[in-house]
Chains A and B, each alone.
Chain A
Amino acid sequence: EAGVVQSPRYKIIEKKQPVAFWCNPISGHNTLYWYRQNLGQGPELLIRYENEEAVDDSQLPKDRFSAERLKGVDSTLKIQPAELGDSAVYLCASSLSDQPQHFGDGTRLSIL
């Protein structure tokens, strides 16, 4: 079974530029999460989807961050414009019903 796939693995952009991350969850997993992991810290939730619906986005900075999950499968997370403090690893995870979450390897974002 393929795991959670994220792309790109690395992204370097200048501040104020837009950036997008893509996530393909494990097949059949209805719940998808985006977490942000700052250096030396644990992951922190940005947004959670149940199928196509965003059910928990209270931690998403909505002035610059947006996310979508079309057809309840793949998801994209976008930042526009990026700020220096957005440098982090962006992790996607998925789960099926009441089963544990499985994480992808993340996208490491560096803002210059």
Chain B
Amino acid sequence: QQQVKQSPQSLIVQKGGISIINCAYENTAFDYFPWYQQFPGKGPALLIAIRPDVSEKKEGRFTISFNKSAKQFSLHIMDSQPGDSATYFCAAGRNSGNTPLVFGKGTRLSVIA
């Protein structure tokens, strides 16, 4: 199975709050899980990525949590800001980056003041 399921489809968060987006995958061969951020009219930009040998990775306000046994991973955005308003895509792939990524359907995040 190649599917990556992402939820929620849309999310509204107050400024300063925590945004949480969840993803689940089926193919146990996947070993690379990036998150991309996309603004309107722009291409996806890599935000943060994780491999299954760690359960959490943090970069600034962005944290990935990974549960290998449940085949789930999530993105947490701490202290969410209006500038974080964008569409977020989780993805899964193999061998780091140079194999095709399977993307979720995206989550449209709106951070309101």
Contact = CB atoms under 8 A, between A and B. Distances in A.
Interface of A: 4, 31, 33, 40-45, 48, 56, 91, 93, 95-106
Contacts of A93: 43
B97 A100 contact: yes
B43 A99 contact: no
Given A98-B95, A105-B42, A42 B100 contact: no
Contacts of A99: 96-98
A93 B103 CA distance: 14
A91 B43 contact: yes
Given A41-B105, A41-B106, A42-B106, A4 B43 contact: yes
A42 B89 contact: yes
Interface residues of B, number: 24
Given A43-B44, A103-B43, A97 B89 contact: no
A38 B101 CA distance: 16
A93 B42 CA distance: 13
Contacts of B89: 42-43
Contact of A103 (B41, B44, B100): B44
B105 A45 contact: no
Contacts of A96: 98
Given A43-B44, A105-B43, A100 B34 contact: yes
